[in-house]
Amino acid sequence: MAFAEISSPLTQQEKQCCEEEIADTETHHREMIRVVADKLRTQSKILFVELALRWGNGLFAPLNSERRKLLEIGAVGHSGNHTVSDIFRYQLGFSPHDERFEVWHASQGETSPPRQLEEYDGVIMSGSEAMVTTIHDMHHQDAPWIRRVLAFDKVLSLSQTPSLLICFSHQLFAFCQGGEVSWMTSTGGNREREIGPVDIQLTERAKSEPLLHCYEGDSLTISATHSQHVSQKPKNADVLASNCAGKNQMLSYKDRPIVSVQNHPEITNAMLAAIVLLRAQAITQERGTQGLADLQRQIWERKTNRPREVLMPNFLTLIGDNS
């Protein structure tokens, strides 16, 4: 059944939602181009730490060409294979050849960033399909690069470099600072991922967070896809957002311009729909057939673009102000 859904044509509702999403993403991209021009110096440097194990054609190959093309356009403004760093580059308003945006492919064998941390004005670290708890397994294939990133996190924690950490990076940095990371479970105690459009409630502390500047709502709807979470926050972290699935959905760190987010501001609804299709079998095992159907319906009913519209321009503004 999952394969039939993956290979089936887009419904009219899906086409309309995708077209709206493409328009929204293009508008966001143009706005971010303006922010880049206004806030960043020509010599600014941003480090993007790519931790994904596979993306683009490697992840979405099972989808039919129609679905794959639409989600790629919605992510990076063109059709073709792309990486997570391409998604962030486009959504942050950088052109493909802008030298201010540098990438460390940490999960693909590169042992260190292109330059020293102190030479960067900002750092963004991505999510990953890897699990933080893998670090305890000396023989796991992901353990070496995770330990290298953990060593980088320790240096980052001592700096004043504005940083935005996403999903896996949110968890690994919390672990680095003395927090605990564990598998997510259902109320029955079985493992169950958090996936789909989810609401996170902002705390009182969030009102003074620069990355949430000018956002007046009490909650955000954001894309989620993770199986582990920060079950115990570090002592030096403040909670910016939580929900019933996790009390540490967004954290900031005392005396450091570092914010980490369990969820994905960069993942569009079309991307989320594709991820759910590819993981339909596992989701069905966790939630049942009706649970999967409800999730697929919610994806197209609840937009998740607001977090990127808030976090990304505020992050570049913070970098500009600190430069």
Sheet with 163-166: strands ordered across: 101-104, 46-49, 122-125, 163-166, 256-261, 246-253, 237-243, 194-202, 219-226
* Cα 199 from Cα 241, distance rounded (Å): 10
Residue 124 phi/psi, 5-degree rounding, is: -125, 135
Pairing of strands 101-104, 46-49: parallel
Q: Tokens representing 272? A: 């989320």
Distance of CA 122 to the CA centre of its chain: 16
pLDDT by position in tens, the chain (length 323): 333 366 678 888 888 888 888 899 999 999 999 999 999 999 999 999 999 987 655 677 788 887 777 677 777 777 667 889 999 999 999 999 999 999 999 999 999 999 999 999 999 999 999 999 999 898 999 999 999 999 999 999 999 999 999 999 999 999 999 999 999 998 777 889 999 999 999 999 999 999 999 999 999 999 999 999 999 999 999 999 999 999 999 999 999 999 999 999 999 998 898 889 889 999 999 999 999 999 999 998 999 999 999 999 999 999 999 87
87 with 59: CB under 8 angstroms?
A: no
Residues in CB range of 78: below 8 A, 6 or more apart? 72
Alpha-carbon distance 250 to 165, whole Å? 10
Task: Tell me the backbone φ, ψ of residue 261, rounded to 5 degrees.
Answer: -125, 125
CA distance 181 to 230: 5
Whether domain 2-322 has CATH 3.90.1150.110: no
Dist. CA 171–CA 233, nearest whole Å: 9
- Asked whether the beta carbons of 154 and 161 are under 8 A apart, the reply is no
Q: How far is CA 181 from CA 127, 200, 225, 259, in A?
A: 15, 19, 16, 17
Q: Which of 319, 95, 295 is nearest to 198 (CA)?
A: 295
DSSP string, 210-251: GGGTT---SEEEEEEEESEEEEE--TTEEEEEEETTEEEEEE
Residue 3 pLDDT: 36
Whole-structure pTM value: 0.94
Q: How far is CA 142 from the centre of its chain?
A: 19
In 10 A of CB 64, how many CB atoms?
A: 12
Q: What is the C-alpha separation between 248 and 232, in angstroms, rounded?
A: 8
Cα dihedral 9→13→14→20 (10° resolution): 140
- In sequence order, what are the beta bridge partners of 229? 182
